[in-house]
Amino acid sequence: MIDNALYWLEEFHFDGLRLDAVHAIVDDSPEHLLDELARRVRGTVGRERHIHLILENEENEAHRLERTEDGRPRTYTAQWNDDAHHVLHVAATGEAAGYYGDYTGDTERLARALAEGFAFQGEMMPYRGGAAGRAQRSSAALGLRGLRAEPRPGRQPRLRRPDRPSGAVRSRARPRRSLPSPAPDPHALHGEEWAASQPFPFFCDFHDELGQAVREGRRGEFARFPELQDEEARSRIPDPIAEETFRSAKLDWTALSREPHAARLGHYQRLLATRRQQIVPRLGDTLHQSGTWEMLGEGAVRVVWPLGDGGKLALVANLSARIIERVDLGEGRVIWTEGDVDRERGTLGPWSVVWTIVTGEP
């Protein structure tokens, strides 16, 4: 396996490797396979150029993400972080079935995930049936924010998007809560940035026994969702092997010139431009530093990140459908707002967001 990994890096000059489901690798060798792989890569082709080594690990383990004093990864560069995705999804849609149940009714999880990387650091997860992660120093979270979460739309039993009419009000501020952060969710998948109306189901082109195993595995994965308890309901989950499932996901590119899609795309573009112009030049080497967070009341959070110029980037968000009053919105220059925000009165309207920068010395 290790020789195969080196082959792609050395012969084809891949920029990096993404290792899937490493939590399922059982290895009691003196040197774990993952550690040996990283050592071999860093000691060979990694001496000549930077190699991205990315993990998917449901265990919320951070010990392979530490950095050297000059900020280089000792072993792995980053790790997909499902915590941030799940807590944002629950806040935006209200969905609480299946594995989303571990992320309901707890705004602190979102603040912790944005500031520190993992929302769960040794706590029990009822749906999972055990604890995830462990308590970590701030330095242990290095690299976590580099990649928020792997693609999830196709891994949900219901294929409507959060921006469809049923969830538009709550979800409209979702990208505004995370995109300006030092390391945002890198995904705007399959037309999400312009609120595409087509579903994004999981599909593949497997055949015979493998195809059947994937089909059954998909239905089994969602058996714990309340509305999918019986076999007949699960049979209505789109068949990942069927051609019509693939065709249902094909985007209508003509929609880009129509509303509300054009307006949504323009909104994303302005938000990304704000991040590029106002935040990225100030990051320096702070990408690998944790932020701080606090609750400002039920459903309201503040997250603060350090910036490379000595300043701070702050997010204040109301993740509820009610108005929150007498909130200290902090100091600094406002670079983005979403929803009804009255800074002088300290009032946050439903699902509102405000981003500020306190400028430091260069």
Catalytic residue annotation = 20, 56
> What's the rounded Cα separation, in Å, for the pair 325 and 352?
12
Cα–Cα distance list, 349 to 24, 180, 276 (Å): 44, 20, 27
* Residue (of 207, 208, 192) closest to 249 by Cα position: 192
Residue pair 144/136 in contact (Cβ under 8 Å)? The answer is: no
* Residue (of 198, 195, 202, 188) closest to 252 by Cα position: 198
Tokens representing 280? 């990225």
Task: Specify the amino acid at residue 342.
Answer: D
Task: Specify the amino acid at residue 5.
Answer: A
Residue pair 163/264 in contact (Cβ under 8 Å)? The answer is: yes
Give the count of alpha carbons within 13 A of 335, CB side only: 25
**How crowded is residue 190: how many other Cβ atoms within 10 Å of its Cβ?**
17
Q: Could you check whether the bond before residue 260 is cis, i.e. omega within 30 degrees of 0?
A: yes
